Amino acid sequence: MVSDQQIYMNRELSWLKFNERVLEEAESSQTPLCERLAFASIYQSNLDEFFMVRVGSIVDQKTLTPQLRDSKTNMTPEEQLSAILERVHMLNARRDAVYAVLMEKLEEQGIRLVDFRKIGRRQSEILEKYFDSEIAPLISPSIVGRRQPFPFLRNKDIYAVVVLGRKNGKQKLGLIPCASGVFPRLIKVPFSENTYMLAEELILHFIPKVFEGYDIKAKSLIRVTRNADIDADALYEEDIDYREFMIQLIKKRKRLAPVRLEFSRALDDDIVKTLCGYMDVDKRHVFKNNAPLDLSFLFEIQDFLRQKSELFYQRRIPQKSPAFVSGRSILAQVAQEDKLLSYPYESMKPFLDMLSEAANDDQVVSIKMTLYRVAKQSKVVEALIEAAENGKNVLVLVELKARFDEENNIEWSRQLEQAGCHVIYGLDGYKVHSKLCLITRREEGGIRYYTQIGTGNYNEKTARLYTDLSLITANQQIGEEAANVFNALAKGETVEETRCLLVAPNCLQNKVLDRMDEEIVHALRGEKAYIGIKINSLTDKAIINKLIEASKAGVKVDLVVRGICCLIAGVKGATENIRVVSIVGRFLEHSRIYIFGTEERAKVYIASADYMTRNTLRRVEVAAPIDDPKIKARVMEMFDLMLHDNVQAREQQPDGNYRRLQPGEDEPISSQDVLYEQAYALALKQTENKG
């Protein structure tokens, strides 16, 4: 009998395994040095968000529902927290070790990051003058006392904390914010080329000058991470303007309770206990770091080395898609046949050109679109504004609850409204995460729909960094169902039934389960049966259980899951027919592909939805069928290529751990490199044919 512990993994611990794979890229000597710096910083920023959102949520659960158990591993909130904190301590030790290695590697490249132990007296004197003239006038020190309460520490900002002593034996705490935004984080050290010091280290060193008259008993840099897990729908009241409500919610989130406290230097237990008391932080949530508390400066160091191309990945530029002919109407080309764009290998330009064309086409009646995360300088939004100014009916659903992009979306919603677009903000209880665009055009035969459905956001920046797929089709049944989605959204409702699209929350999970059941039936008949899924995360227990059922029935199941995977593959008697692969590389794997059936009868979809309950049941998501035989074959070939990746892929083992695949005697295959090489080759061939 197979136990739950053998086939299910806790969500949070699985996420930490994903971030461990990110850290492995920083550790790997096969990764170019400057890219290793990026992965180290990404590991930290990922962990920041994990504490803000997931750990924050579990801390709340521990307080409000301490007996609530994880549906997969039966762990209580307290058990999950204990396991998380233990694992993070282990991973951070690796982070500290790889940081030390990276600093040594940077010195070999002529870049040094130093503290006062590594510089001379003359350099110290000049830095002291710099501190006196450029930094001291800009900092705001405070001393905690009866009339001076402990100050509010901003989320993720760095502070210098000092224990101050007086002759009477009494001690006080002094604090200085180190992130003013006015002086630079990296400070040039005089008389040493390409040598730098972090501003917070400079402040900490000269802190006795700030607190004159006191004995400095101890000092450290500290950084607090605050809970950011707020349920907007639970707090919203109908009589409040929703956009203004979200503005206030963002402000509130910045002041939520701390869930982690980091130190740069060891302090006495009594001091740590005092600080924890002031901020109401459980001492178990305290971390002592040997690496700097904020690694974002590593991107700035990257810039110092831009001229050394060998320290970076090979330069890649999104290529012109061979599916489109230059100089011809995009809409006319889509009317002839379905089109697929594959980012970042192919340029987003054809989609942007289509939006611009629609904005200026007299026959276009309306453009409707869902926006979840858009660029700071968005050509997509510019095209929508242009369309509205040209008299088109433009409906835009801007999801103000897109976590950490709320402020950007609020600003864009204002600009869209000012241009005359009809802006709506989503649904009560549901985030709108779908990537859906519908252009309605009046033609000779009547009204015609042009629909774009994607796996990624309408964001020109991430289209160069994330792997995503974008289907553009003139299929009228798809267009009609997309129109139904927008009509429902405009009324504050969700679609109840669909025929070709899979649309959450009502028509995606159930239809996915139905497709899996079809494969189970084939397997039970003794026929070949297959399920292939590429997603970011797998946590939906109903789907996990169906995959286990499929495996037991003999269905072959391939899962390409970048991040969280709560299913453990390869366990005899339960999941031996399931393989789980995770690809972590240069580009963030973000596309979602669903394949049901063997090659000759496969039903293939691309989607915005991961197999997480939040996606399948608590969001508006859309999956589109791939009907065009050439596009279907292309998507299946891409999926098969990922299954054969032996450079950036890790395969999950029956114990839940991941093993990095090695080429061995086989040809090295990096799926991301191959797809880019193919894009370059096709673009070159198209240019040669034109010539």
Active site residues: 433
State the amino acid at position 421 in one-letter form.
C
Place of tokens 């009809």: 422
CA-based torsion, 50, 53, 54, 60: positive or negative: positive
**Do residues 620 and 465 touch, judged by C-beta distance below 8 A?**
no
Other Cβ atoms closer than 10 A to 630:
12
Provide the 8-state DSSP code for 8.
B
3-state class (DSSP) for residue 106: helix
CA distances from 278 to 150, 215, 220, 340, 590 (A): 7, 22, 16, 56, 41
CA-based torsion, 76, 82, 85, 87: positive or negative: negative
Cα separation, 284 vs 79, in Å, equals 13
Beta-carbon contacts of residue 72 (< 8 Å; ≥ 6 apart)? 4, 8, 9, 10, 11, 541, 544, 566
Cα separation, 539 vs 610, in Å, equals 9
Tell which residue, 619, 351, 327, 300, has the closest CA to residue 489.
619
**Do residues 462 and 440 touch, judged by C-beta distance below 8 A?**
no
Tokens of 334: 């889509």
Tell which residue, 280, 176, 281, 156, has the closest CA to residue 220.
176
Cα separation, 358 vs 367, in Å, equals 8
Write down how long the chain is. Answer: 691
Q: Which pairs count as long-range contacts for 184-191, CB under 8 Å and 24+ apart, including other chains?
A: 185/297, 185/300, 186/297, 186/300, 186/301, 187/127, 187/130, 189/112, 189/114, 189/119, 189/123, 189/127, 190/122, 190/123, 190/126, 190/127, 191/120, 191/122, 191/123, 191/126
Partners of 471 in the β-ladder: 340, 453
3-state class (DSSP) for residue 622: strand
**Do residues 513 and 503 touch, judged by C-beta distance below 8 A?**
no
Other Cβ atoms closer than 10 A to 139:
17
State the amino acid at position 687 in one-letter form.
T
Place of tokens 């011809």: 328
Query: Taking CA 231 as the corner, what is the angle to CA 489 and CA 372, rounded to the nearest 5 degrees?
Result: 45
Question: DSSP of 671-687, one letter per residue?
Answer: HHHHHHHHHHHHHHHHH
Cα separation, 328 vs 331, in Å, equals 9
Establish how many alpha carbons lie within 13 A of residue 153's alpha carbon, considering only the half-sphere containing its beta carbon: 32
